[in-house]
Amino acid sequence: MNLLRNLPSGLKAAMAALCLVALAPSAKAAEPPIKIGFSMALSGGLAANGKAALLAMQMWADGVNAKGGLLHRKVELKYYDDKSSPSEVPGIYTKLLDVDKVDLIVSPYGTNLIAPAMTVAVRRKYTMMSLFGVGVNDKFRYDRYFQIMPLGVHSADAIPEGFFEAAKTLTPKPQSIAIVGADAEFGKATSDSARKMATKMGLKIVYDRAYPPATIDFAPVVRAIQAAKPDLIFVASYPTDSVGLIRSINETGLKASLVGGGAVGPQFASIKTQLGPMLNNLLGYETYVPSDKMKFPGIEDFINQYQAKAAGQGVDPLGYYVPPFVYAAMQIVGQAVEKTGSLDQGAIAKTIHANTFGTVVGSIKFAANGEWDKPRMLMVQYRGIKGNGLDQFRDPSHYVILSPKAFKSGDAQTPYPSK
């Protein structure tokens, strides 16, 4: 202490200033983190996508924190497993808001789980970025809702639209169609939309049925379709069912000009490798494929980092379908908070409505109903797949993009199955 007393006063002042400067960042760091709360399907039927989504969110949070956080505060993800069960969701979101006191919320994964989360978000006036929901806001009409899947304003139409666009290019012109979909939210909405488009296109609907969840054998369904002799088969199925339907089509020898459209499953690496050559000529929707036309800033870095982290975690090893878009959703939340300069829910929603956001999946602008202002769902035809190896699915030549026009890389080829 004596030593300090004996120092010249100028030096003392300089030391004090240095101490203040040194302490300033730690004072910022001591501020509580910005908590972002959500429920996620980490077990149950949607867990395959839920866990991949969580990994992408964690990658975003790590990246943001490494750069100093948002509004100079660290970001903390607060999440609970909703077990893929809609009934768990309202309780979790209430707990997140009342007990965990989160500052921001993001939706769970998938339409069936977003809808119950919306009831809490609307009541508490929270802005909610949604992850892969189809038409949720059609009923709520909530002005603080945003959805990251590139479906566009008429969200239920985005997937079937690509299928029917491809059908219109066929020669000879197709005359009839079979529509088969899962008796669940996504299957119903997509089948309804496909039905309207088929009627508008003047196609005769020769088979139009829904199948119940947990159907094991699809041979009876496929034989009934075969008996109806459709030119086109539109499928709106869930992953396990998609495998069952595609295998049954190949086993029974059913042929049609175009098959697929709304099958959930072929987007995932595990289903791609299971089906292998059975995918050839199948029409499938994708959100992202490694095409030269989809080289958005940061996407390749993100995919490489994701694939390195996903290895050994039992999640989708390619990560083309869900992870880049979930990462983009978080990028938008982050950018909106920074642009707004506060955590005011109404102001954040206004910022998201008013701006275009640069993300790893390209520039995103939202329409009034919270969907992308322009749809960008890809309809691809799988081609040239040999065997069941994973690496071939990193090759853009196996995905012929049929629509939208801006990304088109080829025309539809008939029939399915290709052999």
Partner 1 sequence: MQFDLLVNAIIAGLMLGAFYAAVTAGISISFGMLDIVNIAHPGFIILGSYIAYIVNVHFGVDPIVIAIVALPAFYALGSVIYEIYYRSFEKHGQDSLRGLAFFFGLLFVTEVALNMVFGVDYRSVDVPYIGGSLSIGAMEFPVRMLVPALVSIVMFAGLQLYLARTFIGRAVMAVSQDPQALQLMAVDPIRIKRIAFSISLATASMAGAFLIIIQPVIPSSGREYIGRVFAICVLGGLGSLPGTLIAALLIGVIESITSTFYGPSWAPAVSFGLLLLTLAVRPSGLLGR
Count of positions on this chain that bind partner 1 (CB under 8 A)? 48
Strands annotated E in 97-138: 104-109, 128-131
Query: Rule CB under 8 A: is residue 419 a binding residue for partner 1?
Result: no
Q: Is residue 87 part of the contact set for partner 1 (CB under 8 A)?
A: no
Q: Which residues contact 330 (CB under 8 A, 6 or more apart)?
A: 56, 57, 60, 61, 106, 129
Among 3, 22, 99, 214, binds partner 1 (CB under 8 A): 214
Closest separation between CB of residue 87 and partner 1, Å? 14
Residue 43 or 94: the one with the smaller Cβ distance to partner 1 is 43
Q: Which stretch binds partner 1 (CB under 8 A): 5-13, 24-32, 69-77, 246-254?
A: 246-254
Contact window for partner 1 (CB under 8 A) among 107-115, 209-217, 300-308, 345-353: 209-217
Tell the smallest beta-carbon distance from residue 259 to partner 1 (Å). 15
| Tokens read off for 262 | 């709304």
Contacts of residue 34, defined as CB under 8 A and 6 or more positions apart, other chains included, come to 69, 70, 71, 73, 74, 75, 76, 103, 104, 337, 343
Residue closer to partner 1 by CB (options 10, 212) is 212
Q: Applying CB under 8 A, which of residues 72, 123, 141, 223 lies at the interface with partner 1?
A: 223
Kind and range of the H or E element at 379? Answer: strand 378-382
Residue 381 within binding range of partner 1, rule CB under 8 A: no
Omega of the bond leading into 32 within 30 degrees of 0 (cis): no
Both tokens of residue 309?
């982290």
Q: Which of 8, 172, 202, 253 binds partner 1 (CB under 8 A)?
A: 253
- Interface with partner 1 in residues 267-286 (CB under 8 A): 268-271, 274, 278
The C-alpha R_g of the chain, in whole angstroms, comes to 25
Element (H, E) at 193: helix 185-200
Footprint (CB under 8 A) of partner 1, residues 175-194 = 183
Among 219, 343, 347, 367, binds partner 1 (CB under 8 A): 219
Nearer to partner 1, 48 or 203 (CB): 48
Least distance CB 319 / partner 1 (angstroms): 11
CA–CA separation, 279 and 228 (whole Å):
23
CB of 4 to partner 1, least distance (A): 57
Provide the token pair at 229: 């002799």
For the window 283-312, what string marks contact with partner 1 as x by the rule CB under 8 A? ------------------------------
Number of H helices, E strands in the chain: 14, 14
CA distances from 263 to 113, 159, 169, 285, 414 (A): 20, 10, 21, 8, 18
Provide the phi-psi class of 117: left if phi over 0, else alpha when psi is between -120 and 50, else beta.
alpha
Shortest distance, position 188 Cβ to partner 1, whole Å: 11
Q: Which is nearer to partner 1, 179 or 402 (CB)?
A: 179
Ordered alpha helix ranges (H), 277-375: 299-310, 323-340, 345-354
Binding mask 42-81 for partner 1 (x = CB under 8 A): xxxx-xx-xx------------------------------
Residues in the chain: 419
Contact residues: partner 1, CB under 8 A: 42-45, 47-48, 50-51, 84, 183, 209-217, 219-221, 223-224, 227, 239-240, 243-244, 247-248, 250-253, 265, 268-271, 274, 278, 313-317, 388
